[in-house]
Amino acid sequence: MPKSKTPPPFLALALTTATALTATLALTTACTTSTPKNSNQTPKTTNAKNTPKQTVTLGTPTDSQGPDPAIPNAKPGGTVTILQHSDFSHLDPARVWSSTNQTADLLLTRQLTSYQQVAGTTKLVGDLATDTGTTTDGKTWTYTLKPNLKYEDGTPITAQDVKYGIERTFQKELSGGPQYLQMWLTGQPDPTKTYPGPWNGQDLPAIETPTPKTIIFHLATTHADFPFALAMQSYTPLPAAKDAKSTDPLDQHPFSSGPYKIDTHTIDKSMTLSRNPNWDPATDPVRHAYPDHFTFEFGALPADINQRLMAANGPDKTAMTFNVKVTADLAAQVQNNPDLKSRLVNQVTPFSEFFNINTKRIPDPKVRQALLEAFPRQQVRQVFGGPIYGDFTHTILSPVTNGYQDYDLYNVPDTGDPDKAKALLSQTPTPHPTIVFAFSDDPTWQQAAVAVSQALTKAGFTVVTKPISAKNYYDETQKTDNQFDIYWGGWGPDWPGASSVIPPVFDGRQIADGGSDNSLFDDSAVNAEIDRIQGLTDLSAQDAAWAALDKQIMQSAPIIPWVDPRQVSLYGPGLGGVHTGFIGTCYPLDVYVK
């Protein structure tokens, strides 16, 4: 989702006791103590080596060759049914950013680079390109296309198509997608002021195509992680002749460069995919395409989808979902039934959820730290289902991000520490400040608001609760002059690098209505460090620097870290190869019918 990369947990979840959830799912949660300390202490680190974690590495040209290594016991054929609560808001790659839209486009599109998942490891490899790109300065990047790349109609994929596919993401009419490449190619926060898009015949000189197989990018500044950004589905090739220059046809039926093509798409009801006969697996190191068909059904309630997957009758034996989760009321039944437990995806997603503290309204770091100390993280998580909802976190970066370090700067009990909060407030000019807690006006968040109000009141705050309609939640909380002090937020990396997390969420120069720095955090030292890190040409050095900046930002407490959500989903017993991918949803590219 462009405004907040993970949707708010607005859907009410059935409640169960913490004891039952812990016993039934046995998910690991953070372990904290109430040992008093101050923010100048060395952060506790549970990563024994205290070194940045490398989640995804750059593959070699050999890794970039197809086909994708075979999955043991997998076989081609059959039909997979995908059960979704709602249709995809966009399928036109230029408009795709949310995780579910990206997951659908994994089946339909290819990019210059992509992620190869083999035996539990993930590498970035050349997809359409022969490798992950070459550069001498981090600004000029060159790619060569593989031979025998074709679209669904058999026409060849060319470098000019890659250029055009990126150019059309500049069109204001095609809103909704990411803006990384657009900003990097123009050096402008509003790229359309430099280049409006190709619909009126304009050319973007920052992208050269000297031959049909060669494409050269000239970035305005250094970006060592440029190959990762290219893997986003928005940067998919498209022949200019196939662009209807409107917002509708490709949104319903994108022109396939991937292993499947759309046969039918009835909006909000169904969609069917069949093999793209012109897709060559010998060129593709990241997609298996075992099933003959994918059939999508839209419109069922999540509870009904879970019941169908549990029963697994008829076609549902080979059914799955991209993102519908098992709710807490079904946890015991799923975990205690060996059949259901054996076909359960239960993995942490790349997203992180937290509570923004409005630093414009609360400029005193001690008051912000007092809020963090008093906040009832466990009580709020219990309202949303307990451990099944997600793992407690204390950091900005999530565990799937390169450079991630597991630390706990404050060591606050998950139930909160009101006494420590009171002690901090006593050192401020206003020991009993008034706090406005804003939340989505639905039954679940109403319960959460009670828990928050009680905990903060116990710590000495005067709490005003402010419900906001779910429809207007983002519009209201993402105003730079909003009148709230604490409000839920979420974010996930667009690739396994902190440059797609820390700058958009904490660079004060990006503060704007509808922007992503929703704590309105603006620290000149942090802004300068962001610039320094982004100028580094060595990715390992970047990772270490981002990890250090994560801790530096948290010393100012602009957010209250809460959970790294889990994707806990069922799938039919007739399927194999179901797991989550980097996007955080159930990954379709390794799925096969048994």
Looking up tokens 């409006």 gives 196
In this predicted structure, what is the pLDDT of residue 331?
85
Within a domain: residue 127? no
Model pTM?
0.87
Quick: pLDDT tens for 214-269.
999 999 999 999 999 999 999 999 999 999 888 778 999 999 999 999 999 999 99
Distance of CA 561 to the CA centre of its chain: 16
pLDDT at 289 > cutoff 60: yes
Q: When comparing pLDDT for 254 and 189, which is higher? A: 254
Q: Residue 388's closest CA among 4, 15, 68?
A: 15
In this predicted structure, what is the pLDDT of residue 53?
59
The DSSP 8-state label assigned to residue 43 in this structure reads: P
Q: Band the pLDDT of 473: cuts 50, 70, 90.
A: very high
Distance CA 95, CA 170 (A): 11
Residue 273 phi, psi dihedral angles, 5° rounding: -120, 145
Within a domain: residue 151? no
CATH number at residue 478: 3.10.105.10
In this predicted structure, what is the pLDDT of residue 3?
38
- In the predicted model, what is the mean pLDDT of the chain? 90
Residue 302 tokens read as: 């999540």
In this predicted structure, what is the pLDDT of residue 507?
96
In this predicted structure, what is the pLDDT of residue 55?
79
Q: Which residue range is the domain that position 562 belongs to?
A: 358-567
pLDDT at 189 > cutoff 90: no
Q: Environment class of residue 267 by beta-carbon count within 10 Å: exposed (0-12), middle (13-18) or buried (19+)?
A: exposed
Q: Environment class of residue 583 by beta-carbon count within 10 Å: exposed (0-12), middle (13-18) or buried (19+)?
A: buried
Q: How many domains does the chain have?
A: 1
Residue 355 tokens read as: 């509570």
CA distances from 453 to 162, 464, 465, 527 (A): 52, 8, 7, 33
Which residues have C-beta within 8 Å of that of residue 294, sequence separation ≥ 6? 79, 80, 81, 82, 107, 260, 272, 273, 588
Using CA atoms of 65, 66, 69, 75 in order, give the dihedral in degrees to the nearest 10: 180
Average pLDDT of the residues in 365-373: 98
Quick: pLDDT tens for 139-169.
999 999 999 999 999 999 999 999 999 999 9
Distance CA 447, CA 12 (A): 10
Which residues have C-beta within 8 Å of that of residue 518, sequence separation ≥ 6? 4, 356, 477, 478, 487, 489, 505
Residue 550 tokens read as: 């994560």
pLDDT at 179 > cutoff 70: yes
Within a domain: residue 248? no
Distance CA 240, CA 199 (A): 9
Within a domain: residue 443? yes
Which residue type occupies 250? Answer: L
Quick: pLDDT tens for 519-558.
999 999 999 999 999 999 999 999 999 999 999 999 999 9
Q: When comparing pLDDT for 39 and 295, which is higher? A: 295
Within a domain: residue 409? yes
Quick: pLDDT tens for 16-40.
322 232 323 332 222 322 232 333 3
pLDDT at 46 > cutoff 50: no
Within a domain: residue 436? yes
Within a domain: residue 126? no
In this predicted structure, what is the pLDDT of residue 52?
55
Within a domain: residue 6? no
Looking up tokens 């048994």 gives 594
Q: Could you tell me what percent of the chain has a pLDDT over 90?
A: 83
